[in-house]
Structure 1
C-alpha cells in the first residue's frame, strides 16, 4: 500500500498492521505480510526501494525483522519497539515518536466500571458463586469462558496451567496436600465440555488410574463457548453442520472407570451445594457434570427436547421488599444494578434470561419471576 511522498515504510502482519496504520496514517507506506514462511523476498526488496526508513512492527520475537535484515535491508524494529507485549497504537507511538495519544479528560466518577464477567444467563454462574464461598478448597481452572471464575465477585479459581490440565493438575495438587499432616483442603478441577474432549479426557484418566481423590467438574454447556460456538464431539454436529454421533460425557466418564458421578443443573444452587458436599465427603475420585446450555447457543432440536424453551422468562425486583443489601450483585450478573440513592436493586429486562440464580440468592425474596 504505497502512499505518494511517504518516506517511511512499515512492514508488518496481522493486527500489528492495523495498529501501525492507526499511528502513521498516510505518512507511511505499508507492506502487510499475509504469509510469513516462506517470506516474499523479492516483494520486500522492491518495497524497500520506495521508502527511506523502514519500521518492522511485530509482536514478540523479531522473526520478520531478522529475515528482512538478512536480505541486506536496513530496518528499525526491536531496538526501538518493545520485545514483548501487545503492539497497540499507544505503545507504537510512544516507542517511535516518544509521544502519547491525546486523550479526552473524563471525570472518573462518570466512568462505569465494567469488569469481565459471565453473560447474563450463563450456566457457569451458579457453580462459581457457590465455589467462591467454600473455604477449604483449592480450584484448578482451565481454558474457556469459565476461566473468568478467578475474578471478583467469585474469586473461585486459584491457578490455571494450560488447556486440559485442570483435572490432572488438581490431582497432583491434591496428592501433595494429602501428604501434609492435618490437611483438610480438597482440590477441585474445573473444565468445559469442549476442553474435556480436547485433552481433559487424558487428565481424568490420570486421576482415576493413579487412585486420586480430587474433585473433577465438567461444565457441559453444549457448545464451544469462548472461541465462537464451534461444534464439538458432544454437540451432535460436525464443524460443517452435519448430523453426527453426540458423545455422551457421562458415559465416557463411566467408561474411564469413574465410580462417583453426578449430573446437575448448575442454575439450581441447592443441587450445586449438595453435589459439592457429596464430593467433598468422598475419599476417592468424583466427577460432577453441570449440564445446561450456553445462553448464546442456537438450539438444536435435541436441545429443545431436553431443556425446553429456556431463556424466555424474566426476573424482576419487588422494590417493596428490596432492602438494598446488594447480595444479588455478588452473583456477578451484568443485568443487575443498584441505585445508590434509592438503595434498591434493579434488573435490566433486556439482559435478564431468567436463570433464577439471583432469585435464590436474595435473602428477602425480593426477586421474583415476571408475571406473564
Structure 2
C-alpha cells in the first residue's frame, strides 16, 4: 500500500529466494487431526465443510478431505444449511461439518443447537486437540485452565451435545484409525444429527498432568524396516512431514528427530514395516 499510494518502499531483508526449499503448508508431525481426515477422505458421496483452524489444512494434498470453508464458526452452520438443501432437492450427498474445540466453544455450540432443533441429517465433528492450536496455544473453556494458568472447570463437549438433544455421539482417539473409521461409518448411516468428537492433545502442546494420565503421550519415535518396506508409498498419503521417500532405494524414511511417535503411519502400512524404535 505504501508503494502504491506514496511511491515509497519500506526497506526489508533481502535474500536469495532460489535457495529456499518449497514447502507446502501441512499439518505437523503427530498432529491428532491427520488420522481422522485420512479416514474421512476415503468416504464416498461426502461433502466436508471445514472451519478456521489448523484443520483447514485438511483440504490440501495428499489428504484432500475438505471441500470448502468460509469463516470462523461456519463449519457447523453451513453444514446444517447444506444438509437441508440436499434434503430439499433429493441429493444423496452426506454433509460433514468440522470445527475445533476452541471454535466449538466460541461459536459452534449455537449451530449445533440449530442442527438438532431442525433435525438436520448431518454429521458434525469437533476435532478436540485440548488447546487453541493455530493461534498460539491459548486456553479455552474446555482445556481446564484459564488464560492466567489457574485451574478451571473443563466444559464437556459431549455433555453440551447431550443437553442440546444429540442422540448419536461418538468419542474417539484419532490416533487409532479403526476408531475413526467405525465412528464415521455409524454416523454417516444415522438419520439425523450425529456428533463425532476426536480427542487427543496437539503435538506441540506442553502436556499437562491430566494429558499424561488420560492419553499416555508416548513420544517414542517410529522407524521403517527397510527389509519389509515394499515402497508402496501409502504412508506418504498421510502428509506427515516426518515421512519422506528415498527414490534411490525406493524405501520410505522416517526422520526420528521430527517423529513424535503417534503411530498412525504404522497402521497404514500394509506390510507392518513401521514400528517403534527399540521395540
Asked whether the two chains share a fold, i.e. TM above 0.5, the reply is yes
175, 185, 195: which is aligned to 1:267?
Answer: 175
Q: Does 1:213 align with 2:121?
A: yes
Q: 1:126 maps to which residue?
A: 35
Q: Does 1:203 align with 2:111?
A: yes
Distance, in Å, in 2 between the alignment partners of 1:278 and 1:344 is 36
Q: 1:241 maps to which residue?
A: 149
RMSD over aligned CA atoms reads: 2.0
What per-residue deviation string (whole Å, max 9, x for no partner) do you get for residues 171-230 of structure 1?
10011112233x321000001000000000011011001110110000111000000000
Alpha carbons of 1:340 and 1:242: their partners in 2 closer, same or farther (altered >3 Å)?
A: same
Distance, in Å, in 2 between the alignment partners of 1:337 and 1:103 is 27
Distance, in Å, in 1 between the alignment partners of 2:46 and 2:132 is 27
Distance, in Å, in 2 between the alignment partners of 1:276 and 1:143 is 22
Q: Does 1:303 align with 2:225?
A: no
Aligned residues: 278
Instruction: Please list every run of at least 4 consecutive aligned residues from structure 1 whose deviation after the TM superposition is greater than 3 angstroms.
Output: 101-106, 110-113
Determine which structure has greater relative contact order: mean sequence separation of CA pairs < 8 Å that are 6+ residues apart, divided by chain length. 2
Distance, in Å, in 2 between the alignment partners of 1:80 and 1:149 is 40
> Structure 2 regions of 5+ residues with no counterpart?
none
Q: 2:5 maps to which residue?
A: 78
Counterpart of 1:204 in 2: which secondary structure?
Answer: helix
Contact 1:237 1:244 (8 Å CA) reproduced: yes
What per-residue deviation string (whole Å, max 9, x for no partner) do you get for residues 277-305 of structure 1?
10111111000000111111112222222
Q: Alpha-carbon deviation of 1:356?
A: 1.2
Alpha carbons of 1:177 and 1:105: their partners in 2 closer, same or farther (altered >3 Å)?
A: closer
232, 242, 246: which is aligned to 2:140?
Answer: 232
Q: 1:158 maps to which residue?
A: 67
Q: 1:349 maps to which residue?
A: 256
> Structure 1 regions of 5+ residues with no counterpart?
1-55, 58-75, 82-88, 94-100
139, 149, 170: which is aligned to 2:48?
Answer: 139
Contact 2:219 2:262 (8 Å CA) reproduced: no
Q: 1:286 maps to which residue?
A: 194
Q: 1:316 maps to which residue?
A: 223
Distance, in Å, in 1 between the alignment partners of 2:42 and 2:20 is 30
Larger Rg: 1
